Amino acid sequence: MTPTRFRFCSVTSVAGFQQQTQYPTGLGPDSVAIGDLNGDGRLDLAVANLSTNNVTVLLNRNALADDDFNGDLNSDILWRHDSGQVYIWEMDGLGIKAEGAPAHAPVPNDWHIESTGDFNGDLNSDILWRHDSGQVYIWEMNGLGIAAEGAVVHAAVPNDWHVQDVGDFNGDSKSDILWRNDNGQVYFWEMDGLAIKAEGAPAHAPVPTAWHIEGIGDFDGDLKSDILWRHDTGQVYLWEMDGLQIKAECAPAHAPVPTDWHIQDIGDYNGDGKSDILWRHDSGQVYLWEMNGPPSGRCITPFKAAGPRT
Ligand SMILES: [Ca+2]
Ligand SMILES: [Ca+2]
Ligand SMILES: [Ca+2]
Ligand SMILES: [Ca+2]
Average pLDDT, the chain: 82
In this model, does residue 266 exceed pLDDT 50? Answer: yes
Ligand nearest to the CA of 275: 4
Report the Cα 3 to chain-centroid distance in Å: 25
SS3 82: coil
Most confident of 189-193, 247-251, 265-269: 189-193
In this model, does residue 2 exceed pLDDT 90? Answer: no
DSSP annotation string for the chain: --GGGEEE----------S-------SSEEEEEEE-SSSSSS-EEEEEETTTTEEEEE----SS-TT-TTSSSS--EEEEETTS-EEEEEEETTEEEEEE--SSPPPPTTEEEEEEE-SSSSSS-EEEEEETTS-EEEEEEETTEEEEEEE-SSPPPPTTEEEEEEE-SSSSSS-EEEEEETTS-EEEEEEETTEEEEEE--SSPPPPTTEEEEEEE-SSSSSS-EEEEEETTS-EEEEEEETTEEEEEEEESSPPPPTTEEEEEEE-SSSSSS-EEEEEETTS-EEEE----TTSSSEESGGGGGSS--
pLDDT of residue 37: 55
Ligand nearest to the CA of 66: 1
In this model, does residue 61 exceed pLDDT 80? Answer: no
pLDDT digits (tens, 9 = 90+) for 76-106: 999 999 999 999 999 998 899 999 999 998 9
In this model, does residue 131 exceed pLDDT 90? Answer: yes
pLDDT of residue 46: 67
Length of the chain: 310
pTM, two decimals, is 0.77
d(CA 157, ligand 4 centre) in Å: 27
pLDDT of residue 64: 54
User: How far is residue 202's CA from residue 205's CA, in Å, rounded to a whole number?
Assistant: 8
d(CA 193, ligand 3 centre) in Å: 10
pLDDT of residue 206: 86
d(CA 46, ligand 2 centre) in Å: 32
Ligand nearest to the CA of 120: 2
List the single range of 1-5, 110-114, 271-275, 287-291 with lowest mean pLDDT: 1-5
d(CA 224, ligand 3 centre) in Å: 8
Q: CA dihedral defined by 70, 76, 77, 83, rounded to 10 degrees?
A: 0
pLDDT of residue 41: 44
pLDDT digits (tens, 9 = 90+) for 181-191: 999 999 999 99
Greatest CA separation for the chain: 62
d(CA 120, ligand 4 centre) in Å: 20
List the single range of 39-43, 118-122, 230-234 with lowest mean pLDDT: 39-43
pLDDT digits (tens, 9 = 90+) for 194-243: 999 999 999 888 899 999 999 999 999 999 999 999 999 999 999 999 99
pLDDT of residue 218: 95
Supply φ then ψ for residue 304, to 5 degrees. Answer: -55, -40
